[in-house]
Amino acid sequence: MQRDGEAILNRVIDSMANGVIAIDREGTIFLFNAAAARLLGVEKEKALGKRLLDIVPNSGLVNVLRTGAPETGRPQPIGARAVIADRAPIFRDGELIGAVSVFQDVTEMEKMSRELDSTRTLVRTLEEVLAGAGEWMMVVDANGIVTMISEEYARFNGTSVAEAVGRHVTEVVENTRMHVVAKTGVAEIGERQTIHGRELIVNRIPLKDGGRVVGAYGRVVFKTVDQLRELAGKMNLLESKVKYYEEELTHLRGARYTFASIVGVGAAITAAKEEAERASRTDSTVLLSGETGTGKELFAHAMHAAGPRRAGPFIKLNCAAVPAELLESELFGYEEGAFTGARKGGKPGKFELAAGGTLFLDEIGDMPLPMQAKLLRVLQEREVDRLGGTATRRLDLRLIAATSRNLEELVGQGTFRPDLYYRVHVIPIRVPPLREHPEDLRLIAEAFLAGLAADTGEPKKRLSVELLEILRVHSWPGNVRELQNVLERAVAMSRGEALLPEHIPAHLVRDAQGAGKEVTPGSLASARAEAERAAILTALSAAGGNKTKAAALLRIHRVKLYEKLKRHGIVAERKP
């Protein structure tokens, strides 16, 4: 009897016009009705038992698993369709065991609503324009009878609106062809017309209902020919400037890397690239996590270049590199006079600059708590206000965030907002450290050496067998960035075509020797470099990671310390 009841329930759910999807606590689909299969274009048998995000990459249902809170009336694009979804958690004995979504296709309803709004707006606009001061325009019906005319245009023709409406246009306007356009249905754009001895530039446009001409609309575009000549000169200048700035913006703000730029064929890096490629096809927020130097920014560039917003700008901001007091103005921008020292005319923020493209927030885990609250509001409302401004700007961008810190631990410590974590943790992608795909080390090294040779114009250096063995046993705490720094130093130190162990920092040689590898002894220069590196590490440790204090301890300028940090591949972090 129970089995019959389940069968009837399944038939009822399958007969619903709305799509129904239910997932368990792990995000696996266990209910997928016929309407869902039709709307998503996925067979029911192929969906059941699969992870939801593999079937619907941009689904918001997984948010309910995290929050345990229902969501109603949430819009979600599915291809060219517009879908409205209601989502709710599933509890059993007070324990969250899954979530269910009921959604319906509202594409046609939205289309009709937009068309109705468009018609209303058009009517209101036309009435306001015709009544507007200074505009010279009129409308005639199919017989050439004036049905509408602006007050200014009527006055110029020596009549009034009341006297002109209802009369044939030839009785109102000198040398007119409005009745001809209403008869032929052929537009006349930028034509000259002389009225009361003045030469004007006019447009005459037929009005149609389907394929039938029902009248004509006329407007005086330029009240003198000199106005046209002046505007043409300004337009030529503006077009030249716009073209130049568009080319500059495309060069400066576009993504510089693609997935082809991410070198590696190992299982770990290949899996990360495949996840990123799938995510790039959606507009969902992505959180890139991974140790410092793994190439998270490279992934962000590649996802933008492969996504539907590739033609838009790619704007990045390192949340750890901008002082807390400047972070808000960098993100939101500001109006003129918003604070002391504000630039004349104001300044757009990163949100505005990323319109139509992608905003990449690197090291989001280092964002101060007050700023996290403001970021969350922007992401929820999809609108932003400049500092000191009153106008609200709608957001149209894709967000990619990255962090080298464990955000879940930060949430537990109270230094990262859980609601912001769930907002950015929609599609998490982990970029693996170099030690998890050591088989790619040679490929990455060769690619970097080739790029370095192309930049310098010098022949490409060759990795010796001895040096490659040393590189393979190193743990690479700085990951790919550290490898690049080591190779760049080796290229600078070498004179021949081969890179040898003596060209790299001595500590790498000693590490390899400690691992039981036979290597060539380091040179005197290498020993000096290692001593310098050890001194820098000691100073940073004593200064708690503060570079300014470390530079003071070393009795060198802070800028010089940054140069040495880069040369030795040292990544300094503040102690918590």
CATH number at residue 101: 3.30.450.20
**How high is the pLDDT of residue 576?**
47
Query: pLDDT of the chain along its 576 residues, tens only?
Result: 455 667 787 788 888 888 899 999 999 999 999 888 888 888 988 889 999 888 888 888 888 888 889 988 888 777 777 788 899 999 988 899 999 999 888 876 777 777 777 767 766 666 666 665 567 888 999 999 998 888 888 888 999 988 999 999 999 999 999 999 999 999 998 888 888 888 888 899 999 988 899 999 998 887 766 666 666 666 766 666 666 565 555 555 555 788 988 999 988 999 999 999 999 999 999 999 999 999 999 999 999 999 999 888 899 999 988 888 888 888 888 877 666 666 676 788 888 888 889 999 999 999 999 999 999 998 898 888 888 777 788 888 999 999 999 999 999 999 999 999 999 999 999 999 998 998 999 999 999 999 888 888 888 889 988 888 888 888 888 899 999 999 999 888 888 888 888 888 888 887 776 654 444 444 455 566 677 777 888 888 778 888 888 888 888 888 788 877 876 767 655 544
**How high is the pLDDT of residue 517?**
42
Asked if residue 272 and residue 388 are part of one domain, the reply reads yes
For the chain, helix, strand, coil in percent to 5 are 50, 20, 30
Burial of 342 (0-12, 13-18, 19+ CB in 10 A): middle
From residue 329, how far is each of 235, 348, 356 by CA, in Å?
A: 34, 9, 20
**DSSP H or E stretch at residue 87:** strand 81-92
Instruction: Count up the domains in the chain and report the number.
Output: 4
pTM above threshold 0.85? no
Q: Is residue 458 part of a domain?
A: yes
Residue 26: both structure tokens together: 């792990």
Asked if residue 120 and residue 96 are part of one domain, the reply reads no
**How high is the pLDDT of residue 99?**
92
Token pair 């927020």 is found at 285
CB distance 140 to 147 below 8 Å: yes
**How high is the pLDDT of residue 325?**
80
Q: Is residue 438 part of a domain?
A: no
Asked if residue 459 and residue 337 are part of one domain, the reply reads no
**How high is the pLDDT of residue 2?**
52
How far apart CA 500 and CA 503 sit, in angstroms, is 6
Q: For 394-403, b where at least 16 C-beta lie within 10 A, e where not — what string? A: ebebbbbbbb
- Let me know the angle formed at the C-alpha of 411 by 410 and 415, rounded to the nearest 5 degrees: 60
Residue 217: both structure tokens together: 């609309």
CB distance 470 to 519 below 8 Å: yes
47: Cα within 13 Å, side-chain hemisphere: 25
Asked if residue 380 and residue 283 are part of one domain, the reply reads yes
Domain boundary among 87, 105, 123: 105
How far apart CA 562 and CA 565 sit, in angstroms, is 5
CATH number, position 496: 1.10.8.60
Q: Is residue 379 part of a domain?
A: yes
Asked if residue 532 and residue 471 are part of one domain, the reply reads yes
CATH number, position 379: 3.40.50.300
CB distance 252 to 292 below 8 Å: no
CB distance 351 to 390 below 8 Å: no
For 8, the domain range is 2-105
Q: Is residue 234 part of a domain?
A: no
Asked if residue 17 and residue 67 are part of one domain, the reply reads yes
Strands of the sheet containing 314-318, edge to edge, are 314-318, 358-362, 398-403, 286-289, 427-430
Burial of 24 (0-12, 13-18, 19+ CB in 10 A): middle
Closest CA to 305 of 257, 351, 247: 257
Domain boundary among 55, 72, 105: 105
Q: Is residue 300 part of a domain?
A: yes
12: Cα within 13 Å, side-chain hemisphere: 6
Asked if residue 395 and residue 275 are part of one domain, the reply reads yes
**DSSP character string of 169-225:** GGGTSTT--HHHHHHH---EEEEEEEETTEEEEEEEEEEEETTEEEEEEEEEEESSH
Asked if residue 87 and residue 133 are part of one domain, the reply reads no
**How high is the pLDDT of residue 144?**
94
| Residues constituting the chain | 576
How far apart CA 170 and CA 175 sit, in angstroms, is 7
Asked if residue 41 and residue 167 are part of one domain, the reply reads no
Asked if residue 288 and residue 264 are part of one domain, the reply reads yes
Domain boundary among 170, 195, 222: 222
Asked if residue 58 and residue 129 are part of one domain, the reply reads no
Asked if residue 169 and residue 39 are part of one domain, the reply reads no
